[in-house]
Amino acid sequence: MDDAQLAETWIRYQHKAKPRDDDPDFEAVEAFFSLLDDDPEHLYRLLEVVVQASDDEEVLSMVGAGPLEDLLCYHGEEFVDRVLVRARQDRSWRFALGNVWISRAKSRAVREQVEAAQKLYFGKGDSA
């Protein structure tokens, strides 16, 4: 499955009223989880595809509360600057960032940067 198909499958899974682990589309969710550890750069590229492909706030909420949050919490030092630039430039990225709970981030500096951006964009305090 190429990146566009993987992103489309992940989005389709997010739209399901009662998603289940035995759903064939769940393979996309599993792929995102695997990439978090195995290839976070690829995960970031997939997030770019998803955010570009969907302006649906429910999907963007899931991006923020799911893979984007994980990426920033576990690999934040590598990705926070890029994510914050995208959030400044793009409403969909900004919306996704607003759904990140950054309090469990490994890096204090990443937590502070994300919290500052969330406060700027949404008036939020120490986590989304």
Query: pLDDT tens digits, residue range 92-124?
Result: 999 999 999 999 999 999 999 999 999 999 986
Within-domain flag for 112 = yes
Within-domain flag for 27 = yes
Q: What was the pLDDT predicted at 51? A: 98
Using the 8-state DSSP alphabet, how is residue 106 labeled?
S
Phi, psi of 15 (to 5 degrees): -80, -10
Within-domain flag for 128 = no
Within-domain flag for 127 = no
The helices-and-strands tally (H runs, E runs) of the chain is: 7, 0
3-state secondary structure (DSSP) of residue 12: helix
Tokens of 42: 């690829």
Residue 1 has pLDDT above 70, yes or no: yes
| Host domain of residue 47 | 3-122
Place of tokens 């793009």: 90
Instruction: List, in sequence order, every beta strand (DSSP E) within the chain.
Output: none
- Total number of domains constituting the chain: 1
Over pLDDT 90: what percentage of the chain? 89
Residue 125 pLDDT grade (very low, low, confident, very high; cuts 50, 70, 90)? low
